[in-house]
Structures are given as structure tokens and as C-alpha cells.
Amino acid sequence: MSEEVLLVAREGRVATVTMNRAASKNALNPALVDALGATMTKLGADEGVGAIVLTGAGEAFCSGADLKAALADPSAMGDIEARLERFHDIIRAVVGAPQPVLAAVDGPAVGFGCDLALACDLRIATSRAYFQEKFVRIGLVPDGGGSLWLPQMIGVGRALELMLTGDPIEGRRASELGLVNHVVAPEALLPTTLELARKIASGPPLANAGIKRAVRASVCVVATALAHEKTEQLKCLHSQDFLEGTLAWMQKREPQFSGK
């Protein structure tokens, strides 16, 4: 029997969702993408849930889209727009859930995994966690709302630097910049996150949902950001630069981009 790609646990009014592909650092293959989108949507509609914790198995949050699985599938580029929409369904479910969503981040949160963590309402990270908008290194743009979240959280200049270089930002520095709420030792990650989730979940559901909606409405235009990102990403996905970036990544060499 194959291992479940997504695990869901309930403790009182707190639901914990664990991306369960530790061997690939919880890279998002089609099965995990579909399961995560469906699960977050279902939990968001569950009035018995007061807070949601999103985390990854092993010593990783999420390493982004599973490029190895995609490259091994000849049909992977067949309907790329529809595939991208399934990724966006996850972001819409996280942002649209009335309950606060807390990301418990250990190890890498890279590419779409970084955007997914940033889409959550609160982030608790370990001292060995890092966030990396790595898209540019293979000729792509952020496609999980990163172009929206980062400028709001750390300012346009810093956000552009991280997106244009693809450099990682480690947990403590991320905390200094305001990307994460708390930094803890790895062994304290889930206990700390669950304690905060239980505290939030014990509060008034209508007020919690109202606070989230009001704050999101004042700072986020998620639909617009995702639409812009999709347009730019589709251009990049059909470019020679993406092919070169992917080949360079596979061959462990520096890419030679041509702008075509």
C-alpha cells in the first residue's frame, strides 16, 4: 500500500495538515497538490475547526513543485495552465478559509513551498528553517502569490532582491524582517505552534473570521496577484530559458540564459 501524501489530525478545534513526502522534502507532485487543495477547502468549510496548522513531514516544510516527477511525465507540459490553477486552488483555500492558518516551518520552504508558507496567516519557524523564492534560478517567476506577500511583509526593495537573486533567507533573519512570528528549536516547533493554534481556536469563531477577512481585504488582492503571476509564468514555462534552467539544475551547473 502506498504511503498517504497528506495526513490530517484533529485535536479539539485544531486540525493539523502534514505534507507527507519526506523523501522528496515534501515536493508537490500532482497527488499532493490535489489532496492539499481539497483538504484545505474541506477544513475551511468545517465549523468544528477553529484553527489549521500546516506543516511538512521530516526536516522540511516544502521544497516546491516536484520537478523530477514532472520531467519524468511526458504529459507534464500538456495542460500547464490547468496544472497551475490547481496550485492556485491551494493558495485560494488557505487565504479564503475563515479560520487562521498557521505554518509550522522546519528546513526548506522553497519556490511554491515558500509562497505557501507566506500565504498562511502566521508562521512559526525553526532555527534551521529557510525561505527561498528560487524560481528565478530556473528561469521562472513566483507563482503562489510571492509577488504579493513579500513586498507587503518586507518592502519592495528587499522583496525584489530575494526574488531576483533567488537567495535563501534563514529563520532568524526572516524573523528580524517580519516574515515569521516566532523562531524556535526544531523539537519545539509543533508544541509551540499547536499551543498558539489552540489559543486562537478557543477564541470567538465569528470574530476570528472577521479579523482575518478584514485584514486580508485591507492588504491583499489575491485574485489579481495570482492572475498576473499566471500570465508571466506561462510565458516563462514556454521559454528556452526555462528549458536551460531546468537542464542546468539537473546537470548541477550554472545556467546560461539567453532571454528567449
| Contact residues for 242 (Cβ-Cβ < 8 A; gap 6+) | 138, 139, 140, 236
Q: Where are the domains of the chain?
A: 6-206
Sign of CA dihedral 77, 83, 88, 94: negative
Query: Residue 79, SS3?
Result: coil
Please state whether beta strands 108-110 and 130-132 pair in parallel, antiparallel, or not at all (unpaired).
Answer: parallel
Residue type, 183: V
Average pLDDT, the chain: 93
Fold (CATH) for 6-206: 2-enoyl-CoA Hydratase; Chain A, domain 1 (3.90.226)
This prediction's pTM: 0.93
Lowest mean pLDDT among 31-45, 74-88, 100-114, 143-157: 74-88
Share of the chain above pLDDT 90, in %: 77
Confidence of residue 1 (pLDDT cuts 50, 70, 90): very low
What's the pLDDT tens digit per position in 158-202?
Answer: 999 999 999 999 999 999 999 999 999 999 999 999 999 999 999
